[in-house]
Chains A and B, each alone.
Chain A
Amino acid sequence: DGGITQSPKYLFRKEGQNVTLSCEQNLNHDAMYWYRQDPGQGLRLIYYSQIVNDFQKGDIAEGYSVSREKKESFPLTVTSAQKNPTAFYLCASSMSLGTYSNQPQHFGDGTRLSIL
């Protein structure tokens, strides 16, 4: 079945450590997104990519980095510069059609990151 796979489901980070969250999709979607979810905050966009080898910062990109070397993959690195990384991280993807075409975002099951 087509879908979005995020791994790991739970991740623990030590102080000063970088960690990478994996996101893979087999939906043949051009666009991919990373969101951070905190209780009562809804979803906040970290980074997004509309095409391979290109990505843009979202609303809260500081302390995070991404790469988009393959269409299927959009890994997110939480760097040591991110001082409050404990959150639920969601990856999504969508088609990149015209402005008036329906292209909902489809989500993975998330990765919960905690600080040791």
Chain B
Amino acid sequence: GEDVEQSLFLSVREGDSSVINCTYTDSSSTYLYWYKQEPGAGLQLLTYIFSNMDMKQDQRLTVLLNKKDKHLSLRIADTQTGDSAIYFCAERLPGAGSYQLTFGKGTKLSVIP
């Protein structure tokens, strides 16, 4: 398909791990990003991964990239109530106009205390 796809909702218990999945469109994408949006706010860049990497870890966040399947995931360890938000994945394509990002529709993460 032509869209970046994400599940719309995910619910986890506080202290568990959260895994948010994303399928992107183009195997030649150069960078893939994860953004977090809290209610009524803009998007905050969480982390990114370059396309020649398989994994990137940053404190509680782990990004996994499967280029063959065009699959990206974000794992949040020890999920807290403050992690409740909408999470967007985005891909950046190479070539002309490569400053643009294509966003998924976002996954709303709800953390149950």
| A-to-B contact residues, CB < 8 Å | 4, 6, 31, 33, 40-43, 45, 48, 50, 56, 90, 92, 94, 96, 99-100, 102-110, 112
Interchain CB contact under 8 A, B41 and A109: yes
* B45 touches A (CB below 8 Å): yes
Which residues on B sit within 8 Å (CB–CB) of A41? 105
Which residues on A sit within 8 Å (CB–CB) of B45? 104-106
Inter-chain CA distance A43–B43, complex, in Å, is: 10
Which residues on B sit within 8 Å (CB–CB) of A109? 41-42
Inter-chain CA distance A4–B29, complex, in Å, is: 26
Which residues on B sit within 8 Å (CB–CB) of A50? 99
Interchain CB contact under 8 A, A42 and B100: no
Q: What total of chain B residues lie within 8 Å of the partner, measured CB to CB?
A: 27
| B-to-A contact residues, CB < 8 Å | 8, 30-31, 33, 35, 40-45, 48, 50, 88, 90, 92, 94-95, 97-101, 103-106
The contact of A40 among B30, B95, B105, by CB within 8 Å, is B105
Interface residues of A: mostly helix, strand, loop or mixed?
A: strand
Interchain CB contact under 8 A, B105 and A42: yes
Nearest 9 A/B pairs, CB to CB: A42-B105, A107-B42, A107-B43, A43-B103, A109-B42, A31-B99, A99-B94, A104-B45, A99-B98
Interchain CB contact under 8 A, A103 and B50: no
Which residues on A sit within 8 Å (CB–CB) of B40? 110, 112
